[in-house]
Amino acid sequence: MGIVECVNIKKTYHQGKVEVKALRGVNLSIDEGEFVAVAGPSGSGKTTMLNIMGGLDAPDSGSVVVDEHNFDKMTRSELASLRLHRVGFVFQAYNLIPVLSALENVEFVMLLQGLPQAERRARAKSILDDVGLEGMYDRRPAELSGGQQQRVAVARAIVSNPAIVLADEPTANLDSKTGHGLLDIMEQMNEKKKVTFIFSTHDQMVMDHARRLILLRDGLVVDDRMKEV
């Protein structure tokens, strides 16, 4: 069994009287340590798929198993605990806490997990060094560039050693050089820590970096292939 198993996932949204079928029966199996891009045009269902994998949204039907946890059999608090301990998120809009420093933003997940301060601080500094932000620990998000903020977001996502990291359009607000740099960092983390990365994207640069490409169109998987290394 893969670290993520999605079986016949269907999801429909209602916008007034209009039904939008976001997912029409998606089947996916993703193994531990993969570096996967879920790609497709706007409205193809890729963000919905990522949100369902992360337990942020529930399918209308079908089953989701992440890290051997079946979402159907979990309470809301159990799902929240799984997200806290086993799933890292990187959002297009960074979602950093403005009043906290880079170090404090990275520490925040570990604070929620109840880790001791000394361990939180040491791990946060180490991961910020890994993403090239040594010496910027005390800067708040407003004092960082977009690329630096996204690096903080990546550090925050992986500092607690999650089973998977879900990255929703992580390069959308970055120039190509900064985006390449960020993807290189995530590839290094994937290889070094064996963290599974799953991206939703329509950015060709992300697709080029991915080792497996899953294409969605109109809520269905239309192609799923491993890239030649």
Model confidence pLDDT, tens digit, residues 74-101: 999 999 999 989 999 888 777 899 999 9
Give the pLDDT score at 149. 92
**Hey, what are 74's tokens?**
């979990």
Pairwise CA distance, residues 79 & 90, whole Å: 18
| Fold topology of 32-60+69-226 | Rossmann fold (3.40.50)
Pairwise CA distance, residues 34 & 26, whole Å: 19
Percent of the chain predicted with pLDDT > 90:
63
Percent of the chain predicted with pLDDT > 70:
99
Nearest to 92 by CA among 32, 212, 162, 179: 179
Give the pLDDT score at 39. 93
Pairwise CA distance, residues 98 & 144, whole Å: 11
71 pLDDT above the threshold of 70: yes
Pairwise CA distance, residues 228 & 220, whole Å: 24
Give the pLDDT score at 229. 60
CB hemisphere CA count around 216 (13 angstroms): 31
Measured between alpha carbons, how far is residue 192 from residues 55, 147, 187, 196, 200 in Å?
26, 22, 8, 11, 22
Nearest to 160 by CA among 229, 83, 99: 83
Give the pLDDT score at 6. 95
Q: What does the pLDDT look like over 159-218, one tens digit per residue?
A: 888 989 999 888 887 788 888 888 888 898 898 888 899 999 988 999 999 999 999 999
Give the chain's count of helices (H) and strands (E).
7, 10
- How high does pLDDT run on average in the chain? 91
* Domain coordinates in residue numbering, the chain: 32-60+69-226
pTM of the model as a whole = 0.91
**Hey, what are 138's tokens?**
């005390």
Nearest to 87 by CA among 114, 65, 116: 65
Q: What angle do CA 129, 67, 62 make, to 5 degrees?
A: 130
Give the pLDDT score at 216. 94
Give the pLDDT score at 188. 87
Give the pLDDT score at 186. 87
Pairwise CA distance, residues 78 & 84, whole Å: 10
Please give the order of strands across the beta sheet that includes 18-30. 18-30, 4-15, 61-66, 69-70
pLDDT classification of 227: cutoffs 50, 70, 90: confident
34 pLDDT above the threshold of 80: yes
Q: What does the pLDDT look like over 121-175, one tens digit per residue?
A: 999 999 899 888 999 999 999 999 988 998 899 899 988 889 899 998 888 877 8
Give the mean model confidence (pLDDT) for residues 111-125: 94
